[in-house]
Structure 1
Amino acid sequence: MRPGGGAQALTSTAHGAAGEREEGPADGQAPLFAAPAASVPAVAENATASPDRPDAVRGPGLRTTAGFEVVSELPVASVRLVGVLPHLDRPFEYAVTPDTAAAGPGMRVRVRFSGKDTEGIVLERRAEPTTDRALAPLHRLVSDDVVVPPTMMRVCEDVAERSAGTIGDVLRLALPPRHARAEKADRAAAEKEEAAAAEAEAEAEAAEDLESTESADDAEPAATTDAGETGHDEQTVPAAEPSAEAPVAPRHADRYPGLAALLSRAGSAEGPVPRASLVLDPVDPWTAIAAESIAALGPDRGALVIAPDQRDVARLSRVLTERGIAHEVLAGTEGPEKRYRTFRRILRGATRVVLGSRSAAFAPVQDLALVICWDEADDLLEEPRAPYPHTRTVLQCRSAEERCALLFLAASESVTMRALTDAGYLARLDPVPAPVTAVRPRIVAMDQYLRDREGPSGRSRLPQEAMRVLRNGLQRGPVLVQVPRTGYAPAIACTFCGTRARCPECAAPLSQRGRNGPLHCTVCGRREDGYRCPECDRTHVRAMVIGSTRTAEELHRAFPDAPLKVAGGAHGPLEDDAVPEHGIVVATPGAEPAPPGRYSACLLLDADAMLGRAAFDADVEAVRRWRGAISLVRTAEEGGEVLVVGTSTLPAIRDLVAHRSALFLDRVLEDRRELDLPPFRRVAEVVGEREACRGFLETTELPDGTEVLGPVDLEGPDQAGRARAVLRIEPRRSRELAAALRFGVAARSARKDRGSLRVRLDPPDVF
């Protein structure tokens, strides 16, 4: 019986009920984060009774607003509200009515708060309240499903604390909107599954009883002779010849010895929780490693796999289906009905293997033993909604609270994974030694020797060496060409002085759509026919970056007989099975399709432009994108080769040619240490209206040693009157900074300060 179920109700003689009396700031003025419950500015504890309606006394210590009945067993419910203002991010107490007597911890309820119908999650049921104020009633029990178990609630609290956000906002990320029709349909399906399972069990028991009865009837004692023979005619049963076993395909996971040790301890309640980082060789598909890891778990163990892109999820789903592993895909792109039905199937344990993208990080997997994250450095795993937690942070919190093994898979080691490994949080799983030609393709950079050998064409964007790689690759299979940008010529500059061409109306960069097309602005749509450089007053322009459309046009002229496909940008994604057998695929980073037989060759064009992106992590991100494309190419033993067209002396390009070298990341980490950049500093960003940003920094008491950069006015046509400040502190004191920011935002919300403000911890684009 659930708490409160079947209890006798206490009847009140007065009529009418009062809701919450506390008012919050107007819509649009509420900031996004809250302070810890212990330091939230004082507000009213609960709803107070109306002066015209006397309180109803419900026994020792329990007072409620009048007009409703209260159960006698555990009549007080502590409720965490979803999506409330930052200074109200704490539990509130309500009285349990007979209609809501089944409400228990983790269930969804509706309550009246500030005159509005608000969703909440029951934390616990109590016999006595902790306040002497009159309690309002639980308005409605939405569902008796325990959607937020205690462990998941602790995960949400930990994520909110690490992200300087509110628990209510984290709950809004964790819970999909309820869909009544999907819930009803899934309940009916669950009943049918239970009935079918009971019927199958009964049939199995009946068959077993019948078989045992027939065996007892047929059994007769055998008379033996002195020679030890039976009294029946002797029958010789030939021994079964050993059947030739089918050859067992080698497992990719066997190349990483430490992986077996991690899986053997996955889900163990004793000892430290196993956590590891695994950088794959190009020969090992991440889908095979993930599928083999899931298959190694026991049948009663759950697994959760997170991938950045929905195409990655679909690829792993196909592999699991081929291996006969039952699983569910929890995708944010599904409709609300299908998504909630999948959520309920996971919640009731119909399946224990769940795949998904960023939105599936909170999936309520039963008996979770293993969490796998593929390519955690991808920007698609950064949550764009408050409190902006990275998927990596959510999975780390789940690993700590649920004691599940944590495994990060990637084609290239990120700075964050390297820092966590050096700190001892993650173990690095290295593969067994193998010939380089057997684990990756042949990788060559256009060095000075190749350029001088070709002459003037060696300095072109598509040198003769690139044409040779394309020509030879097309004879063996499909060829991949990766370019940094989509479009035709997305960046235009003056031919004489190199000043970038910008729109005179909105200052956005001008671009060119076709070979002889006019310059146009991608922001305001202005067509610029008579462009003149504002620096030298000249009219001739050139393309700074060549897009995928123009690259495809040039390759089509060079190889007119080869099928050609463009992936990414305005062309949209290209399915894996749509890659032509002996064709060319031009793709932007992250949009490369993965054909079953892999690519025979790959060109990485405009490598210098990729490294010249205006971001402090441009080199690390470029290497990650390049290694992602290289992982789709056949090994050197199978004829696979990769050509990097760029300055071969740059450290990032040299890192591609070297095999499993740590020199590049060592240099990056040393530079960041000297410049006080992440991961050697915890960074927070405060962005908002100029006065709101300055007022927040003046009124918030930051920890000692916090470095404040700014606030600085933002530039751009849509940034008028806005400013940004950056805060830095050493990592060991990051919890202090997060707590101070939560308190500052909650205090600002309680004061109803004017102006919009946004606070983020560890923003990816801060520098």
Structure 2
Amino acid sequence: MRTTAGFDLAEHEPVARVQLIGALPHLDRPFDYAVPADAAAAGPGMRVKVRLAGREMDGIVLERTDTPATDRPLGPIARLVSEDVVISPTMLRVCAEVAERCAGTLGDVLRLAIPPRHARAEKADRTAEQAEQEDVPAADEADGPEESDEGGTAEGVEGAGEAGEDDARIIGRYIGLQALVDRAGSAEGPVPRAGIVLEPADAWTQVTAAAISRLAPGRGALVVAPDMRDVDRLHRVLEARGIPHEVLGSADGPEKRYRAFRRILRGASRIVIGSRSAAFAPVRDLALIVCWDAADDLLVEPRAPYPHTRTVLQCRSHEERAALLLLSTSCSTTEAMLAGQGYLRLLEPAGAPLNAVRPRIVAMDDHLREREGPSGRSRLPQAAMRVIREGLGRGSVLVQVPRSGYVPAIACTFCGTRCLCPTCSAPLTLRSRDHGLQCTVCGRVEDGYRCPECHRTGVRAVVIGSTRTAEELRRAFPEAPLVVAGGAHGPVPDDAVPEGAIVVATPGAEPAPEGDYAAAVLLDCDAMLARASFDADVEAVRRWTNAIALVRTARDGGEVLVVGTATLPAIRDLVAHRSRVFLDRVLEDRRQLDLPPFRRIAEVTGDRAAVRTFLEETDLPDGTSVFGPVDLEEGADARGARAVLRLEPQRSRELTEALRAGVAARSARKRPGSLRVRLDPPDVF
């Protein structure tokens, strides 16, 4: 073995195979380095500093060997960063699988999985670990708590029994859930994976807590939710039940995050909950993985290689043999396809009266509109006012609107052309009753707007925002407290909703008060379905059902009014209980149109020349449909282009391998321009 001069080699296994973090795509492979004597403690999974092409880079030691795989002289490991094993062989395989599925590099996935080292946090946690080890003997010798005659503790037996009964009721409502929990972490047989479309009466936090509490002792669990508000809600439930857990928050600083990472790594915390980044948490003895609302686009990682959290959790379920449980209020197309392929099983609830599991849901059909007269065609019909008025007598009322702001979308009264800014082509909006049209980007105030198509001056509102809706409801119900959530108003804490208040919220921003809402009104449903996206209908149903899940059951007086065209399949799906008609129709339409999830989609964006050169030089699999490249709109990037690739899912490995090879070849040839490759982006169509 040849090495560069100037250092002494370690006595045993002097060669370390190192995976670089954040290296260029064509350098995404292990490199051999010599292990100097001062870094002899470096072992697999430890973080080191190495030099490559004159730069110092982070790396992970994969293994130690006696002989290198190259004849070239080996450079030394520059520095052993820490003796902590920050990643296990199993997690390395998970990261490699994620990189392969997303056409990315292992180095980029490792950067997502391992937080940056924080020396002060590491030192503090080592001190805490030593203190815990010293306290263990003392705790064993200490007298235990006073026991009752029945063998349990004198305090809390009754409460534990009530919690156990509630858990049994919740687990028993969904046929097969108990079997999944019992088999969680089993080393034999197939790995249990399931999806559950929850009844509105069952909060996902209660179902998750019940499943965690029934795990075998010493087993770990990982729960991922799209939003930190969801994580906080689960945190409060677990805290009330006395279940120790670790919370990984998106707003945590580097020190707090690394200290939590180290506690999880050494097994001090085996129950971990968090948002998107928690999917890589190194939980010991992982037995159960729960993902809430996997169809939410917040679970798509915005950094390369842009993996979806569901993909990461699927890889972990396979490698660590952990049970996978997907919870939601509506079935997504991806979940339905996975169930159809036999990858997971959709667990149905046991039979129960409808008024005990969901609120009374009514859509404004033609009969209700005609009975009401002219007001039945308005945006806020009398039926909506009645639901709000009666709901205020029983508690708080939720009013969901698609957009924030005052009047966020305006169009010509005569021809319907959207009002755009003459300067930057951004949408013109109305911020209040006393202001004129104003651009949302450049701030231009348009006092004398004239339609560029028909040259008329009259305009009308296309969508009414939450601010304007709150203004109308304040005049109609002056005595009721009014809360506006979402958009510029920001989030509203769950405990900040007064009793008997009207809450106007955009989708996803609805606070969840204790005791749930007495009623809800879903406004402008047609506008939400008119969103320019191929999955607008499925996404609208997901947002509506999430809001409906916050309303009391019909037995407790809960009522929901859907204001929209009642004959639309998406709205009819809300009224029909657990009907498969809408979803089956959507899946059949997508099958015929070759849309996801029946086709694997890749998006290539970047500079025009870079995109065209990449498509010409990359050897794509036979049968790959290439759409574009198409120049992007001037408002997005005047120099950019976009191409979409489509292939059947059975050959998705071929597509990802070709894209990875194309990106690596482009990097090795030092092609100019920027380029980005994403697999299955949520906004592709």
Give the TM-score category using the shorter length: over 0.9
Amino acid at match of 1:607: C
Alpha-carbon distance in structure 1 between the residues aligned to 2:141 and 2:171:
40
Cα pair distance change 1:744/1:445, threshold 3 Å: same
Who is 2:67 aligned against? 128
Question: Deviation at 1:688?
Answer: 1.0
Matches within 5 A, 1:651-730: 651-730=569-648
Q: Distance in 1 between matches of 2:633 and 2:490?
A: 31
Cα displacement (A) at 1:718 = 3.9
Matched, 1:516 2:434: yes
- Counterpart of 1:88 in structure 2 is 27
The separation in 2 between residues aligned to 1:291 and 1:100, in whole angstroms, is 45
Matches within 5 A, 1:155-194: 155-194=94-133
Secondary structure, counterpart of 2:229 in structure 1: helix
1:614 is aligned to 532
User: Whole-Å Cα distance in 2 between the matches of residues 718 and 281 of structure 1?
Assistant: 41
Asked if 1:366 is matched to 2:305, the reply is no
Equivalent residue pairs, number? 671
Post-superposition offset of 1:525: 1.3
- How far off is 1:66 after superposition? 0.4
Q: How far 1:370 moved relative to its partner? A: 0.3
Residue 719 of structure 1 deviates from its aligned partner by 1.5
Report the identity percentage: 71
Q: Distance in 2 between matches of 1:139 and 1:452?
A: 79
Partner of 1:648: 566
TM-score, with normalisation over the residues of structure 2?
0.97
Residue aligning to 1:462: 380
Partner of 1:584: 502
Which residue of 292, 296, 305 corresponds with 2:223? 305
Matching residue of 2:183? 265
Amino acid at match of 1:666: D
Q: Secondary structure at the match of 1:683?
A: strand
1:395 is aligned to 313
User: Structure 1 residue 73: deviation in Å?
Assistant: 0.5
Q: Is the 8 A contact 1:684 1:728 kept in 2?
A: yes
TM-score, length-scaled by structure 1? 0.86
Q: Is the 8 A contact 2:404 2:467 kept in 1?
A: yes
Instruction: State the distance in 2 between where 1:738 and 1:488 align.
Output: 44
1:104 partner SS: coil
Answer yes or no: is 1:104 the counterpart of 2:43.
yes
Aligned partner of 1:43 in structure 2 is none
Using the alignment, how far apart are the partners of 1:583 and 1:72 within structure 2? 73
> Partner residue of 2:421?
503
- Return the alpha-carbon distance in structure 2 between the equivalents of residues 537 and 253 of structure 1: 63
| 1:57-68 pair list within 5 angstroms | 62-68=1-7
The answer as to 2:506 corresponding to 1:567 is no
Residue matched to 1:26: none
The one-letter code of the counterpart of 2:327 is L
CA contact (8 A) 1:332 1:339 kept: no
SS in 1 for 2:19: strand
For 2:507 and 2:532, the matched residues in 1 are separated by: 17
1:614-648 deviation per Cα after TM superposition (whole angstroms, max 9, x unaligned): 00000000000000000000000000000000000
Q: Aligned partners of 2:395, 2:408: CA distance in 1, in Å?
A: 30
Assess if the C-alpha contact under 8 Å between 2:360 and 2:553 holds in 1. Answer: yes
User: Do the aligned residues in 1 keep the contact of 2:11 with 2:37 (CA within 8 Å)?
Assistant: no
Alignment partners' CA distance in 2, 1:343 and 1:696 = 39
**Alpha-carbon distance in 1 for matches of 2:217, 2:85:** 23
Determine the structure 2 residue equivalent to 1:147. 86
Three-state SS of the structure 2 residue aligned to 1:257 is: coil
Shift of 1:198: 2.3
Quote the RMSD (CA, aligned, Å).
1.4
Q: C-alpha deviations, 1:556-582, integer Å up to 9, x for none?
A: 000000000000011010011111110
SS of aligned partner of 2:573: helix
Q: Which AA in structure 2 matches 1:465?
A: A
Task: Output the CA distance in 1 between the equivalents of 2:411 and 2:158.
Answer: 66
Aligned residue type for 2:89: P
Matched, 1:411 2:336: no
Rg (Cα) greater in structure:
1
CA distance in 2, matches of 1:441, 1:137: 67
Read off the aligned partner of 2:560 and give its amino acid letter: V
Describe the superposition over 1:59-110 as per-residue Cα deviations: whole angstroms up to 9, x where unpaired: xxx1100000001200000000000000000000101111111111000000
- In the aligned structure 2, how far is the partner of 1:575 from the partner of 1:245? 32
Corresponding residue of 2:522:
604
Which whole-Å deviations, capped at 9, do the CAs of 1:135-160 have from their partners, x for residues lacking one? 00011111111111000000000000
Distance in 1, matches of 2:370 and 2:547, equals 27
* Equivalent AA in structure 2 for residue 654 of structure 1: R
Contact 1:276 1:429 in 2 (8 A): yes
Q: Which of 10, 14, 28 does residue 75 from structure 1 map onto? A: 14
State the AA in 2 paired with 1:609. A
**1:298-447 mapped onto 2 (5 Å cutoff):** 298-447=216-365
Deviations 1:511-544 (A, max 9, x none): 0100131111111111111111111111121111
Give the distance between the partners of 2:434 and 2:651, measured in 1 at CA: 57
| Structural mapping, 1:478-493, within 5 Å | 478-493=396-411
Q: What are the Cα deviations for residues 432-477 of structure 1, in whole angstroms up to 9, with x where unaligned?
A: 0001111000000000000000110000000000000000000000
Q: What SS does structure 2 have at the residue aligned with 1:311? A: helix
Aligned equivalents of 2:527 and 2:404: distance in 1?
Answer: 13
Cα separation, 2, equivalents of 1:474 and 1:680: 46
- Cα distance in structure 2, aligned partners of 1:576 and 1:497: 43
Which stretches of structure 1, 4 residues or more, deviate above 6 A after TM superposition?
Answer: 243-247
TM-aligned CA deviation for residue 200 of structure 1: 2.1
Quote the offset at 1:291 in angstroms: 0.2
Instruction: Report the more deviating stretch, 301-310 or 244-253.
Output: 244-253
CA distance, structure 2, for counterparts of residue 718 and residue 487 of structure 1: 23
Any idea what the Cα deviations from partners look like across 1:15-70, whole Å, max 9, x if unmatched?
xxxxxxxxxxxxxxxxxxxxxxxxxxxxxxxxxxxxxxxxxxxxxxx110000000
Q: Distance in 1 between matches of 2:405 and 2:464?
A: 8
Partner amino acid for 1:183? Answer: E
Pick aligned residue for 2:664 from 734, 746, 759? 746
Q: Is the 8 A contact 1:166 1:387 kept in 2?
A: yes
One-letter code of the match for 2:462? M
- Where 1:745 maps in the other structure, the secondary structure is helix
Unaligned runs of 5+ in 2: 150-154
Paired with 2:261 and 2:95, the residues of 1 have a C-alpha distance of 17
Give the Cα–Cα distance (whole angstroms) in 2 for the partners of residues 535 and 130 of structure 1. 69
CA distance in 1, matches of 2:171, 2:495: 26
Give unpaired runs (5+ residues) of structure 1: 1-61, 208-236, 238-242
In the TM superposition, what is the alpha-carbon distance from 1:483 to its structure 2 partner?
Answer: 0.2
User: How far does residue 721 in structure 1 lie from its aligned partner after superposition?
Assistant: 2.1
Quote how far apart the aligned CAs of 1:306 are.
0.2
Please state how far the C-alpha of 1:203 moved relative to its aligned partner.
4.6
For residue 312 of structure 1, give the secondary structure of its aligned residue in structure 2. helix
Alpha-carbon contact 2:332-2:538 (below 8 Å) kept: yes
Q: Which amino acid aligns with 2:30?
A: P
Partner of 1:453: 371
What amino acid does structure 2 have at the position aligned with 1:326? P
Q: CA deviation at 1:199?
A: 2.3
Q: Distance in 2 between matches of 1:202 and 1:556?
A: 64
Deviations 1:186-242 (A, max 9, x none): 11111111111122234569x9xxxxxxxxxxxxxxxxxxxxxxxxxxxxx9xxxxx
CA contact (8 A) 1:492 1:542 kept: yes
Whichever residue aligns with residue 87 of structure 1, its letter is H
Deviation at 1:299, TM superposition (A): 1.8
Question: Per-residue displacement from partner, 1:241-281 (whole Å, max 9, x unpaired)?
Answer: xx997883533222013100001110000100000001100
